[in-house]
Amino acid sequence: MLSAVDEVFLDLSSQVHAVLLERFEELSRPPPYDDPTEMLPLPSTVALDWQADALIDLEDAEAETEDPDWDDVAVLVGSEIVRRIRATVQEKLGYTCSAGVANNKLLSKLGSGHKKPNGQTVIRSRAVPPFLSGLRFAKLRNLGGKLGEQVARDFGTESIEGLLPVSVEQLKLKLGDDTGVWVYNTIRGIDWSEVNSRTAIKSMLSAKSFRPNISSFDQAVRSVSSGPFLQPDHVTLSAAVRVPC
């Protein structure tokens, strides 16, 4: 892989909802027996075809043989849409795309970097705990800098798994109320941030963060010459699917 355009977030909720209503007629019918509390029948495993997606494993492997819930089906439809987008981008522009499909921006971003280049990773809601537990929290947005260093110092761990036992009250005590609650939710894959619409892009910036920091001109020359930064041949897509099921 050369350089990449990072990154495009897509909210596919309305598109996925339209496909679900078309594909599964029972979703558009009134509640059974006119009782809005009556649960819909669960879809069958035959409704799922993940094709070439990198599917994050569930904690219990035997759960793969059980009937999925509607959240799984919604994410599947999202993955189909993203697969078509990737194919179109490569056909029309010659760029390959890696993509992550999940139910929020946080998880979809993590998924988009999971199988670079030119891979598509799907993180179902049921697969979030095993996926996150093996990561360092520095990989999460806004936890890779000074805040992440403070968390590691205060709680003696750099892993999400090591931070999970820490209560929200302990986090609030060390980090403040708002930040403590945010960290508590983030390491559990909870993210309510919106995908904001963008107007036509008039300029493009290629940037790279260097760790450790560059302290001399010679180091800068070596770092810049080690790889191209100006001509992208790869795009990262992060698709969030939010469909109430």
* Residue 203 forms part of a structural domain: no
pTM equals 0.77
Q: Please name which of 164, 168, 185, 186 lies closest in space to residue 177, comparing C-alpha atoms.
A: 168
CATH code of the domain containing 82 = 3.30.70.270
* Residue 226 forms part of a structural domain: no
Low-confidence ranges of the chain (pLDDT < 70): 1-6, 32-34, 36, 46, 52, 62, 65, 67, 198-211, 224-245
State how many domains the chain has.
2
The set of long-range contacts for 221-230, using a CB threshold of 8 Å and a minimum separation of 24, is: 227/2, 227/3, 228/2, 228/3, 229/3, 230/3, 230/206
Q: Is the dihedral of CA 210, 105, 151, 175 positive or negative?
A: positive
- Same domain? For 121 and 94 the reply is yes
Query: Which residues are known catalytic residues?
Result: 7
pLDDT at 244: 44
pLDDT at 211: 67
* Residue 136 forms part of a structural domain: no
- Same domain? For 10 and 112 the reply is yes
- Same domain? For 90 and 171 the reply is no
Q: What angle do CA 62, 185, 72 make, to 5 degrees?
A: 35
- Same domain? For 97 and 42 the reply is yes
pLDDT at 6: 57
- Same domain? For 146 and 119 the reply is no
Range of the domain at 20: 3-131+232-240
CATH code of the domain containing 170 = 1.10.150.20
Residues 6+ apart with CB under 8 A from 93: none
b/e sequence 18-28, b meaning 16+ C-beta within 10 Å = ebbeeebeeee
* Residue 82 forms part of a structural domain: yes
pLDDT at 1: 24
- Same domain? For 123 and 175 the reply is no
- Same domain? For 176 and 86 the reply is no
- Same domain? For 110 and 146 the reply is no
Residue spans of beta strands (DSSP E) within 146-188: none
Q: Of 155, 171, 186, which residue is a domain's last? A: 186
- Same domain? For 66 and 24 the reply is yes
